[in-house]
C-alpha cells in the first residue's frame, strides 16, 4: 500500500491549479490517473478542490469518516454525511459499510474525507471490498499534514484551500 499522503506526479497535480476549469468528467479521469500512480485498489483519489466541484455540482456525495467530535468541533463540509471509520476489524467495518449503504448506492460516486487522507484510504478499501465501485479518497484530508511545528491546516487540506466548511 502506497502512502496516500505523499505527493503524486506533476501530471496528476494539474488539478490543484486548474480544478475550477476542468470538466467534471475530467476530474474523474484524473482520479483514475492517481489510482494508477498510487497503486490504489479503489476508483481513485481527488484533491479537496476537485471534491468540492464534484460535490457542489451533485456528481458525488462526501462522506466524512472522522469521529463525530471531529466532524462537529473541528469542522465539516456543509451537506456532508458523517460515518465514522473505527478500524478494520470485522464489526466496525460491517457497521461502517452498513451505514454507507444507507446513504449511497454501490455504483454512486462517494468521496471519503478524514483529517489527513489516512483513515479515508482505509475506509475506501473497505467500501470497495463491500461492492462500492466508485469510491474515492479525498487527498490531503480536512486538516492536512502537520507542519514543522506539528500543526495541521497550514500546509494543505480542505480548510487550507479556503473551501466551504462549518463548525459548531
State residue 3's pLDDT score: 57
Nearest-angstrom CA–CA distance, 15 and 19? 4
Q: What is the CATH number of domain 24-138?
A: 3.40.250.10
Which sequence spans correspond to the domains of the chain?
24-138
Name the pLDDT band for 87 (thresholds 50, 70, 90).
very high
pLDDT tens-digit profile of 108-117? 999 999 999 9
Report, in angstroms and rounded to the nearest whole number, the Rg of the chain calculated over CA atoms. 15
pLDDT tens-digit profile of 133-147? 999 999 999 999 999
Query: C-alpha distances in angstroms, 165 versus 44, 71, 135?
Result: 23, 10, 22
Name the pLDDT band for 9 (thresholds 50, 70, 90).
very low
Nearest-angstrom CA–CA distance, 63 and 83? 7
Residue with cell 476508483: 43
Nearest-angstrom CA–CA distance, 85 and 65? 5
Of 80, 139, 127, the residue nearest 99 (C-alpha) = 127
Stretch 62-70: mean pLDDT: 98
Specify the higher pLDDT residue, 150 or 31: 31
Note whether 66 and 84 are within 8 A (CB).
yes
Runs of H (alpha helix) within 43-131 = 48-56, 68-69, 90-103, 119-129
pLDDT tens-digit profile of 30-54? 999 999 999 999 999 999 999 999 9
Amino acid at each position: 500500500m502506497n502512502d496516500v499522503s505523499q505527493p503524486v506526479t506533476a501530471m496528476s497535480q494539474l488539478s490543484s491549479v486548474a480544478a475550477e476549469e476542468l470538466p467534471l468528467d475530467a476530474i474523474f479521469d484524473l482520479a483514475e490517473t492517481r489510482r494508477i500512480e498510487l497503486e490504489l485498489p479503489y476508483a481513485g483519489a481527488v484533491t479537496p478542490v476537485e471534491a468540492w466541484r464534484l460535490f457542489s455540482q451533485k456528481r458525488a456525495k462526501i462522506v466524512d469518516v472522522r469521529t463525530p467530535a471531529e466532524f462537529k468541533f473541528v469542522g465539516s463540509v456543509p451537506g456532508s454525511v458523517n460515518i465514522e471509520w473505527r478500524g478494520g476489524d470485522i464489526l466496525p467495518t460491517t457497521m461502517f459499510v452498513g451505514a454507507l449503504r444507507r446513504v449511497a448506492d454501490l455504483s454512486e460516486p462517494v468521496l471519503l474525507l478524514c483529517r489527513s487522507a489516512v483513515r479515508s484510504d482505509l475506509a475506501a478499501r473497505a467500501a470497495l471490498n463491500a461492492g462500492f465501485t466508485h469510491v474515492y479518497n479525498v487527498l490531503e484530508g480536512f486538516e492536512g499534514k502537520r507542519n514543522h511545528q506539528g500543526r495541521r491546516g497550514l500546509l494543505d487540506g480542505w480548510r487550507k484551500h479556503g473551501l466551504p466548511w462549518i463548525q459548531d
